[in-house]
Amino acid sequence: MGESRPLMEHRLLVTGYGGFVAGSVVWQALGGGRWDVHALSLLEGPQERERFHCRQFDLCDEAALEAAFAEIAPAAVIHAAALADIDFCQSNQQSARRVNVGVTAQLARLCSRSGAKLILCSTDSVFDGVKGMYTEDDPPRALNFYAETKVEAEGVVRGAVPNGVVTRLGLVMGLPVLGAGNSFLARMQESLKRGQAVKFPANEIRTPIDVITLGRALLELAENTFSGTIHLAGSTRINRYEMACFLAGRLGYRPELVGATDSNAIAGRAPRPNDASLDNAQARRVLATPMLTLSDGLDLVLRMKELQQGGQAPRA
Ligand SMILES: NC(=O)c1ccc[n+]([C@@H]2O[C@H](COP(=O)([O-])OP(=O)(O)OC[C@H]3O[C@@H](n4cnc5c(N)ncnc54)[C@H](OP(=O)(O)O)[C@@H]3O)[C@@H](O)[C@H]2O)c1
């Protein structure tokens, strides 16, 4: 273990840069002016530019992660990298555990040693979906292996990093701002554009958060003094079929292309919680970033996508 350098107050480390959530974080951090952003990705990153640096390596490479962390000496880390495909995790449990728990544990050790603030992206899926509108005090009960790894990762952060933050994200809605990643809306739009029907479970209830608000909230948590667990979720509680109908309608697609299904009837799918809606009262209390309704969140996503396509930096 090498000696840790003093923290670089203006340096932010973001993992999972090629992904959906981290792309929004990085784009907004660069628009904000507060941070020098150091992004870690499995994929080759874009060219370095002012206040942006990207390194490419597998986060499971402990030596590479330790060396990068020591060089960067970040003041805060937003840990968005994960194996986030629930069904992939169910059938690849060793990899899922290595990435979702192992990498988090190493980052937790590095942050606790240096004093950097660690912000972990966890999930609404840690709950069993029986009660709904879960608060931060409700006990998790994982129904699938992905959720088990997230519960474990949460415990690691709470146990090792006194100024750590566990964020539990509602279903993330939006279009990728940088990179690609796990956007159901982008996939749905692709199908609808081709005139292909899509189906969403009517018995899965969520509190979707738009990816722009989520990026802002994660950055705010990197900058403020909050520590502990916080639910980052939108202010609309809705089932996934109705949500898809709403989004398709607003984007100008034929509503009859969207059908309802039952999550328990999809063969080979790992179990999901039915009602994993999150209570966002604490986020509304402690964050300046407002937790939006689904409709306002979609407006924000579309506005920011236009800005980004015009090559402009975001402004809050
Ligand atoms: N999207 C949602 O609705 C949602 C909801 C709740 C919680 N979350 C959580 O939010 C976080 C971000 O999710 P997301 O939607 O942005 O997922 P994503 O698009 O799949 O991004 C995850 C990123 O992690 C990277 N990664 C995985 N293993 C890696 C490794 N060994 N080394 C380096 N990078 C690695 C992936 O790189 P590659 O693409 O190159 O594999 C990917 O870019 C995750 O922790 C997820 O569990 C997401």
In CATH terms, the fold of domain 9-181+208-235+275-295 is Rossmann fold (3.40.50)
Ligand 1 pocket: which of 14, 15, 17, 20 to mutate (most atoms <8 Å of CB)?
20
256 alpha carbon to ligand 1 midpoint, in Å?
A: 32
Angle, in degrees to the nearest 10, between helices 211-223 and 20-32: 60
- Please tell me if the CB atom of residue 61 comes closer than 6 angstroms to any atom of ligand 1: no
For residue 146 and ligand 1, the question of a CB distance below 6 A is answered with no
Q: Could you read off the pLDDT tens digit of each residue along the chain, which spans 316 residues? A: 444 566 678 999 999 999 999 999 999 999 888 899 999 999 876 667 789 999 999 999 999 999 999 999 999 999 999 999 999 999 999 999 999 999 999 999 999 999 999 999 999 999 999 999 999 999 999 999 999 999 999 999 999 999 999 999 999 999 988 767 789 999 999 999 999 999 999 999 999 999 999 999 999 999 999 999 999 999 999 999 999 999 999 999 988 999 999 887 778 889 999 999 999 999 999 999 999 999 999 999 999 888 777 777 676 5
Among the atoms of ligand 1, which is closest to the Cα of residue 81?
Answer: 24
Domain positions in the chain are: 9-181+208-235+275-295
pTM here is 0.96
